[in-house]
Amino acid sequence: MTVRPPERIERDGVVLRRPRQEDTEAIGAAVAASLEHLRPWMAWADDGATSPARRREHQERCDSSWDKGSDFAYLAVDPGDGRVVGAAGLHRRIGPRAVEIGYWVHVDHTGRGIATRVAAALTEAAVALPDVDRVEIHCDQANVRSAAVPRRLGYRLDRIEDDDVTAPAETGRSMVWVHP
Ligand SMILES: CC(C)(COP(=O)(O)OP(=O)(O)OC[C@H]1O[C@@H](n2cnc3c(N)ncnc32)[C@H](O)[C@@H]1OP(=O)(O)O)[C@@H](O)C(=O)NCCC(=O)NCCS
């Protein structure tokens, strides 16, 4: 049986919901506004990242991996007006019975604890999955703002390991944070 997390999670003033093809324009606008903020750390944040074709393709991949049960992409939206404030995901890419949490926040909404609340909500959703025993957050060791998120949530730094450099600011050494 394929086990999936909820399609909508509301917690502490942030709504996480499964994105749909009709969201691609709003996501593209959030990525466009945030591109220079994302580019150092996110491999996909290049000049083509906001093109409608790329956004549609990305959404198709999100849909098929959600249906397969391998990756669960979420949009973080403001509960009041539905604006896109970030995005996150649960990814089954770190071995059996384990999920990795990823996230980014719209540049205009950083510094308000959104990533922390998003990661807290997704940690809870991941721990609730009956086939998951381990939850991790990976980030380059130079990405101090990202590392502050698992640290704030009580994750422990399990190790720092060699990793591919896929984005311009990465050092090739990745921190692996494990819950709890
Ligand atoms: C890293 C990133 C996700 C952090 O997003 P963020 O929403 O600013 O992060 P946080 O939720 O941790 O917010 C922390 C700040 O909000 C403040 N804050 C306000 N209210 C808060 C609350 N209720 N809870 C926690 N922090 C709160 C904290 O004091 C902190 O301020 P500081 O940075 O001045 O110390 C964001 O900078 C980003 O998108 N970076 C580019 C992409 C990226 O690196 N992604 C991760 C790849 S591994």
pLDDT per position in the chain (180 positions), as tens?
Answer: 678 999 999 998 899 999 999 999 999 999 999 999 999 999 999 999 999 999 999 999 999 999 999 999 999 999 999 999 999 999 999 999 999 999 999 999 999 999 999 999 999 999 999 999 999 999 999 999 999 999 999 999 999 999 999 999 999 999 999 997
Closest CA to 164 of 147, 132, 130, 140: 140
CA torsion 105-50-101-72 (nearest 10°) is 120
Nearest ligand 1 atom, CA 106: 39
Q: Is the CB of 144 under 6 A from ligand 1?
A: no
pLDDT of residue 30: 97
Examine residue 180 and say whether the peptide bond preceding it is cis (omega within 30 degrees of 0): yes
Nearest ligand 1 atom, CA 104: 39
pLDDT of residue 25: 95
Query: Which residue minimizes the CA distance to atom 41 of ligand 1?
Result: 38
Going from the Cα of 128 to the center of ligand 1, the distance in angstroms, rounded, reads 24
On whether the CB atoms of residues 176 and 138 are closer than 8 A, the answer is yes
Q: Is the CB of 34 under 6 A from ligand 1?
A: no
Going from the Cα of 99 to the center of ligand 1, the distance in angstroms, rounded, reads 21
Going from the Cα of 53 to the center of ligand 1, the distance in angstroms, rounded, reads 30
pLDDT of residue 137: 98
Q: Is the CB of 105 under 6 A from ligand 1?
A: yes
Mutation pick for ligand 1 pocket among 94, 104, 143 (CB with most ligand atoms within 8 Å): 104
